[in-house]
Every structure is written in C-alpha cells, then in structure tokens.
Amino acid sequence: MKKLIQCTALALCAGATYVQAAETESWHYNIGAMYEIENVEGQADDKDGLYEPSVYFNASYGDWTIAMTMYQEGSADYSNFTRGTYFNRPELDIRYQIIDNDDWSLGFTGGMRNYGYHFKNDDGSNNGTANTQRYKFQPDWNVNINQDWSFSGWLAYYRFDNDLDQTGYSDSRVETETGFTWKINETVSLRTNYYLERGFNTDSDKNNGEFSTQEIRAYLPIALGNTTLTPYTRLGLDRWTNWDWSDDIDREDHDYNRLGMLYAYDFQNGLSMTLEYAYEWENHDEGGNDRFHYAGVGVNYAF
C-alpha cells in the first residue's frame, strides 16, 4: 500500500517548520503515526484483508533529514481480529538537499528497509520466518517554470537481498512519480503525474516476483484555510504480474482504476492530520474481478 498522498499532505502541513529549519540551522522534528487498511469485496468466507500501522520520527538540520519508520507486517484475518505478526519492518532514510533556490531544487535520499515475515501453516502453527532487506537510492526534484507551473517528481531504485525465494520478491525494482503542477489560483491546483513501478531480476535465470504497473495520477488540491481537500484518481495504463511463477510462468494482466479523496487539516500548533478513502476496481485475466476499499488516517506533530 502506498503512503505517498498522505505523506505529502502531512509534509505540506509541516512545510513551514522544514523551511525554518533550513534557514536557522537548528534542529526540527516530526513525529507521527499512520494506519492504512484495504479490503476486497466478496471475501466473506475468510475475511482476509490488509492493514498496515506505522509510526515514524523525522529530524531535520539544515540540508539534512533523517527519517525512521516502523511498520507492522502485512495481512490480517478479520474473522478473529488477530494478526500474529509484529512491528518487524523498520526503515531508515537519510536525505540531503543538494540544491534549493527559487528556480529549482534537487535532493537525494538513501535508505534501507527490512521486510520481516512470520509464516504460518493452515492450522495456525509457525512455519518459519524470512527477512528481506531493501536498499533505496532516490533523487527528487522540483523546477519552477513560472509562477503558475512547476515540474517535480522522484525516481527510486531498490535492491532486494536475502530470502527472496521465501518472500517472492525480485532482486531489483524501480519506482517513479513525476509530472506537472498548475496553480490555477490561490485556492486550487491541478497536479498530473506519470507513475511507474517495475520489479525485475538482474539474474536472467530468475523471474520470481516480476511485475509492472503504469498509471496516470491526477490530484486537485483545494486549500480552504486550515483544511485541504484533495480529490484524486489513478488511471491504469498497464499492469501485469507473475507472482505465481512457481506454478505458472506466464504473466497475468490486470485492468484497474481508482478514485479517492484526501482530507488534511492543520491545527496551527504543530499538529496536523489526514483522512483518506479510495475505491478501486480491478479486472483480471485469471480468476474473478476485484473491488477494493482503501482507508487511511495519519497524524503528525512538528516541533
């Protein structure tokens, strides 16, 4: 599940604090938590779903930012409201602001995240663990074309190591979201981005966990005092997966789209929060079609 929209909103709420940190060369901090949940319609028998709580702490000094996040592992069984899993997915990122002026900015982030798994048998007994490390290398940029138009985005390369056969991940992945923002007036902006996530293997003898997702993502932030409403959509261009490589080496194609709404509120005392809901419909070449309900809530305190 993706945190990009909520994280962007929380960052905007704390943006003044970050700018002040850069100007005064003093320490400034953000601490917060997020809770995301995703359900698939029609899973009444096993009531399986996904939810991912996380807590984070960021510290900024001048051009440097260090970010630490702890995620809880994967899926849940709503039939008995238990998980049997742990906060075993820590992530550490360090970002450096290389350039930042009125015309353009450039930053670079490096980091590492651990993906921990606790496997279970059908009877609920333990069936081993796995830990896969993901290393991230990510530049980000913003170019102010004029007062109304800007071009911004980020591009990440991930490298995965250890227990890939157990977790099903490919050894490499690229992810990017980039596009143009049009400031229509002081209240409304339109941001249109191209999104790509591609998992692949550098070893030609492997094809486990390979996939591709391409989307057009459009956002319409509406600033109303302390409140920002952001209706958005994700229009699927292309998606395929071969997660079942051990049984079927052929990839499966998917057709999908999403509509969502993000609500962000700044309390003007360092505290900010977000609420988000989205509905996604997916059609698959194999099996039945799915309808997803996504919801998320986030809270941030800047000091």
Compute mean pLDDT per 10 residues along the chain, 303 residues long, and list them: 48 44 75 89 56 92 96 63 66 98 97 86 75 96 97 98 89 97 97 97 82 96 97 94 63 87 97 96 77 93 97
The pLDDT of residue 49? 65
The pLDDT of residue 14? 45
What pTM value is reported for the model? 0.86
Show Cβ contacts of residue 30 under 8 Å, excluding neighbours closer than 6 positions. Answer: 10, 14, 17, 56, 57, 58, 60, 300, 301, 302
The pLDDT of residue 40? 74
Q: Which domains does the chain have, with CATH numbers?
A: 4-302 (2.40.160.40)
The pLDDT of residue 43? 54
